[in-house]
């Protein structure tokens, strides 16, 4: 993490009660690089706002959900990074649970706990068949995803007496980097090798 980005985070923590960070713009740059402009809008009269431009180092995946950028977190340990740094597994099942709604609910709960609400349910789940219909069919491929995700689903399904099989998923062997960094700005996220930041003299306020 660059010194400037660390300073940006420190400023955000120290002045959290006075400033509310908001995303002003998200800019697509050459080679998949993404630039994000964040404005610390003053919440207290007499407090001076700040504007920062954050830029990914290398190609960046992102989801822009809301201009509200609070809280701001930079981390290398988060479920969002699992798809980039973990091997992928495939989870198949056979057998019918006694209660399909309870079984489906357990899957949804395991997904929500693992993803912390930041990964859509259809990201790794079998999207060809609705979950209730898949479970009612008695067999099939349930999900393909990061190893910890598949393990979370498997553990949630153990009480339902299904035959569960976990296999390494070779087609999912995309290029992975153990140095991926997640920048979380409220409900929006950005994933790249790293990020740099710099103060901006002026920016348009949202």
Residue 205 lies in a domain: no
Residue 9's pLDDT is what? 82
Whether 90 and 24 map to the same domain: the answer is no
Whether 105 and 127 map to the same domain: the answer is yes
Whether 152 and 97 map to the same domain: the answer is yes
Residue 184 lies in a domain: yes
Using 70 as the pLDDT threshold, list the residues of the chain that sit under it: 1, 15-17, 171-178, 202-206
pLDDT digits (tens, 9 = 90+) for 148-181: 999 999 999 999 999 999 999 876 454 455 578 9
Residue 19's pLDDT is what? 79
Whether 50 and 100 map to the same domain: the answer is no
pTM (predicted TM-score): 0.70
Whether 101 and 168 map to the same domain: the answer is yes
Find the domain containing 69 and state its range. 3-76+179-199
Q: DSSP string of 138-195? A: TEEEEEEEEHHHHHHHHHHHGGGT-EEEEEE-GGG-----TT-EEEEETTEEEEESEE
Tally of structural domains, the chain: 2
Residue 17's pLDDT is what? 66
Residue 206 lies in a domain: no
């Amino acid at each position: 993490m660059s010194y400037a980005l660390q300073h940006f985070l420190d400023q955000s923590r120290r002045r959290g009660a006075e400033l509310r960070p908001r995303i002003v713009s998200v800019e697509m740059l050459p080679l998949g690089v993404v630039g994000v402009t964040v404005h610390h809008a003053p919440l207290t009269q007499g407090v001076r706002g700040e504007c920062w431009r954050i830029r990914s180092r290398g190609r960046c995946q992102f989801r822009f959900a809301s201009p509200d950028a609070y809280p701001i977190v930079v981390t290398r340990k988060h479920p969002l990074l699992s798809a980039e740094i973990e091997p992928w597994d495939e989870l198949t099942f056979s057998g019918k649970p006694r209660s399909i709604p309870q079984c489906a609910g357990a899957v949804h709960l395991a997904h929500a706990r693992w993803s912390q609400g930041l990964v859509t349910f259809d990201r790794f789940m079998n999207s060809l068949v609705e979950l209730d219909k898949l479970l009612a069919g008695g067999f099939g491929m349930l999900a393909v995803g990061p190893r910890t995700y598949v393990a979370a689903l498997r553990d949630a399904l153990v009480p339902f007496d299904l035959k569960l099989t976990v296999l390494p998923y070779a087609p999912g062997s995309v290029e992975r980097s153990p140095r991926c960094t997640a920048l979380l700005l409220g409900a929006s996220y950005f994933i790249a090798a790293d990020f740099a930041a710099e103060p901006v003299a002026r920016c348009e306020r949202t």
